[in-house]
Amino acid sequence: MNKKIIYRGAEAEICLSRYLEEKAVQKRRIPKSYRIKEIDSFLISFRTKEEAKLISDARLHGVSVPIIYDVDLKEGVITMQYLEGKRIKDILNDLDEKERKRICNMMGKSIAKLHNNDIIHGDITTSNMILLDDRIHFIDFGLGSKNGEIETKGVDLHVLMEAFESTHSQHPDCFDYVLEGYKKEFSGNAGTVIKKIEDIVKRGRYR
């Protein structure tokens, strides 16, 4: 079957595929010609393995993510479930206020579950969330890591705050709704993470 590329980024391309008769997507890391071949192969394999582990770990801790069908470390390919849902980016602006608040609360609770287990997504935007069966599924953990630092959790949420400001600026309460959900679910002191977000904003302002 000819694989249809549905997204191509700097580091990877996403193709429509099939796996055991199921509709699937393949995330394939792109080789870099400017790197020494052995180093490039190592990095592709390592990053593929790390991303697959983060996705599996997220699922283990109750966060909705695509099911992983297969991982090919040599080729740098993760084959996973195709989510027949809607990107949050495409629907959030058109929801009524009550539903938008509910969805944002759900986001916050899911992000807190990730952070409770030191899973950093690395690129939390509404483009990387899909609503399916009334659950928010997180995709693309390519920039993710395992990290327990408050700073990193603050940075993770700050990325989402900036995504709201650029894509959903007509609804300025969205990030506050996310933080409401986050505070309910976060097992540590959510205030320290929120304070860190404020510090990051100040740093950017005075840079």
* Tens digit of each residue's pLDDT (9 = 90 or more) over 127-171: 999 999 999 999 999 999 999 999 999 999 999 999 999 999 999
Please indicate whether residue 176 is annotated as part of the active site: no
The answer to whether 31 and 40 have CB atoms below 8 angstroms apart is yes
Give the CATH number of the domain where residue 63 resides: 3.30.200.20
Angle between helices 150-167 and 190-205 (to 10 degrees): 60
* pLDDT at site 58: 98
Q: How far apart are CA 84 and CA 11, in angstroms?
A: 24
Instruction: Out of 57, 81, 105, pick the residue that ends a domain.
Output: 81
Low-confidence ranges of the chain (pLDDT < 50): 1, 207
Distance spanning both ends of the chain, measured CA to CA = 51
Residues 100 and 75 in one domain: no
Residues 72 and 90 in one domain: no
* pLDDT at site 204: 74
CA distances from 62 to 113, 117, 138, 167, 178 (A): 7, 11, 12, 28, 18
Instruction: Out of 49, 81, 113, pick the residue that ends a domain.
Output: 81
- Residue 71: which domain range? 4-81
The answer to whether 80 and 142 have CB atoms below 8 angstroms apart is no
Residues 74 and 161 in one domain: no
Residue percentage of the chain with pLDDT more than 70: 98
Give strand ranges (E) for the chain.
Answer: 4-8, 12-19, 22-29, 68-72, 77-81, 86-87, 119-120, 129-132, 135-138, 145-146
* pLDDT at site 120: 98
Residues 77 and 122 in one domain: no
* pLDDT at site 7: 86
* pLDDT at site 205: 63
Give the CATH number of the domain where residue 144 resides: 1.10.510.10
Residues 150 and 74 in one domain: no
* pLDDT at site 206: 55
Residues 101 and 187 in one domain: yes
Instruction: Out of 32, 47, 81, pick the residue that ends a domain.
Output: 81
Residues 59 and 15 in one domain: yes
Residues 54 and 97 in one domain: no
Residues written for the chain: 207
Of 123, 134, 176, 199, catalytic: 123
Residues 77 and 101 in one domain: no
Give strand ranges (E) for 42-171.
Answer: 68-72, 77-81, 86-87, 119-120, 129-132, 135-138, 145-146
Token pair 């609770």 in the structure block, residue: 109
Helices (H) and strands (E) in the chain, counts: 6, 10
Residues 98 and 174 in one domain: yes
How much of the chain is helix, strand and coil, in % rounded to 5? 50, 20, 30
Residues 193 and 95 in one domain: yes
Global pTM reads 0.93
Tally of domains within the chain: 2
Residues 70 and 140 in one domain: no
